[in-house]
Copies of this chain bind each other. A is one copy, B any other.
Amino acid sequence: MNRKFNIAIIGLGNIGSYLYTFLKQKRKILSKKARVDFNISHICDKKRKFKVSKNKWLKNYLDAPKIKEIDLIVELIGGAEGSAKKLVFSALKNKKHVVTANKALIAKYGNQLAKIAEKNKVNLEYEAAVCGGIPVIRSIKDGLITNQINKVYGIFNGTTNFILSSMDFDKLNFDFALKKAQKLGYAERNPKADLAGFDVADKLRILSALCFNSTINYKNIYIEGINNIDQKDVQYSNLLGFKIKLLGLTEKNNNTIVQKVFPALVKSNSSTAKINGVLNNVILEGKPIGSIEMIGEGAGPKATVSAISSDIISVMKDSIKLPFNTPIKEKNKYKFRDMLNESYEAYLRFDLQVKNIGLVKNIIRKLKKNRIHIQKYKKINFNSNKFFSLIIITKITKDPNLRGIIKNFKNKKIYKCVKFIRIEKV
C-alpha cells in the first residue's frame, strides 16, 4: 500500500452525515476489502456539523477539485444545477474521481460529464442515483454486460409507492397518505419531484441509456405523476384484479425506444403489484438472460450509503471504468416513440348521480363510436347511494382516442368525475 487514498465528502445532509460516520467507523475493514488504505481528508457543508480539524474542513466546496491530495470527491449536494453541477464538472476537469447519488445531475448532464471523465481517465460512479441500495447499475455494467436488454421497468420511487400502498391497505385518501409519508420521513416537505414523477423520470433516463447503450435522452420521455389518483381508483382497481403503481418503463422495439413514467394498473398477481411501501423493484428483460428482478430499499441513508460506499471501494480497487460502459461518442443512435401514439387497455371511471343512471347508455354508445370497446364494467354506488361510479376496462385502444373521449366527457358538468388510467401488462 502506497500513500493513502484521499476522499472528500461535499454535502453533509442525512446521507452525507451517515456516509461520513460509516466510513470513519469501517475504515479499517473497508481498506482491507479495497486493498487500498483510504482516508476522509476533507468534508464540507453549509453548516459545520462535525468536530474536525481546521485543515479537514473546507470553507468553500469549490476548493475541493483544486486540492492536489484529494483523489475522489463524493458529491451529496443534490440538484441538477447550481453547486452540485459546478462541483462535479470542476472535479472531473481537475481529474478527480467522482461518486454521486445525484440522479437529477446525471440524467441532465451525464453525457457531458461522462465525456470529461473518459478524456481525463477518471471514474464517475452513480449507483446510488438509481434505486438506492439495489446494485442495478453495477449489474448492468458488469454481471449482465453481455446481455442485449430490451426492456427495463419497475417501481423506482419509494415515496409514491408508500402513498399508493397506504391508499390501498390503510384506505387513506391521497392527502392523508401524503401526510403520513411526510411524518415518517418518506416524503419531503415539498414532495413535487416525487409526486409528479420527475424523480422516476431521471432514474429511467439513466437506466435507458445504460441498458440500450445510447446517450441519455432527456427530452423524449412521457411523465405523469400520481396526483390524479384517488382512493376510489385504488379500491376499484382492487375489485377488478389490479393494483395502481407509478411505473417507470423503457423499452426497445425495432430500434426505437419509448421512455415513460405514469401511474398504471398492473395485474394484482404480477411481481410488480406486490412491491409495497417504500420498496423499489427493477425488472430487466433481455437476451440471453430472460428476466431478472431485483428488490430492495430505494432510498434512505442506509441503502444509499451501501451504494455510495461500494462505488468508492470500486474506484479504489479497480481500474478506470467508463461511466456508461462504452465511450459516449460510440453510443448507439435510436429513434424515440411517443407513448401518446401507442395503444393501451385502460380503466375508465365516470361518477354520476344515481338519478342520471340513464346516461350509462350514452357513455357506452359514445365509446363505441370512438372505437373504444369494453372488456368488462362495474357499477358501484357511493355517498348513501346518491352517486355511482361506472368503471370500465376497455379492450386495447389507441391512446389519442382515450384522451379525446375523456376530454369530451370532462367538459360536461353533469359528470362529477371522469378519468382514465392506462393498464400496463407487466
Residues in chain A within 8 A of chain B (CB atoms): 18, 22, 26, 30, 32-33, 127, 133-135, 137-139, 142-147, 271, 274, 287-297, 301-303, 305-307, 309-310, 312-314, 318-319, 325-326, 330
Contact = CB atoms under 8 A, between A and B. Distances in A.
Given A143-B127, A313-B146, A296 B290 contact: yes
A147 B26 CA distance: 10
Q: Which of A146, A289, A290 has the most CB of B within 10 A?
A: A146
A288 B22 contact: yes
B293 A295 contact: yes
A214 to B, nearest CB: 14
Contacts of A271: 274, 295
A133 B290 contact: yes
Q: How many copies does the complex hold?
A: 2
Contacts of A145: 33, 310, 313-314
Interface pairs A-B: 7 shortest CB-CB: A135-B143, A138-B143, A288-B302, A146-B309, A289-B306, A292-B296, A293-B295
Given A290-B302, A306-B288, A330 B143 contact: no
A19 to B, nearest CB: 10
Contacts of A135: 139, 142-144, 292
A293 B136 CA distance: 12
Given A138-B139, A293-B296, 19 more contacts: A22-B288, A32-B330, A33-B325, A133-B290, A134-B292, A135-B144, A139-B143, A146-B313, A147-B310, A288-B303, A288-B305, A288-B306, A289-B296, A289-B302, A289-B303, A293-B294, A295-B295, A318-B318, A318-B319
Contacts of A295: 271, 292-295
A88 B425 CA distance: 45
A387 to B, nearest CB: 35
A134 B290 CA distance: 10
Contacts of A30: 146
A145 B309 CA distance: 8
Contacts of A319: 318-319
Contacts of A303: 288-290
Contacts of A326: 32-33
A142 B135 CA distance: 9
Contacts of A127: 143
A11 to B, nearest CB: 18
A94 to B, nearest CB: 24
A90 to B, nearest CB: 27
A303 B287 CA distance: 9
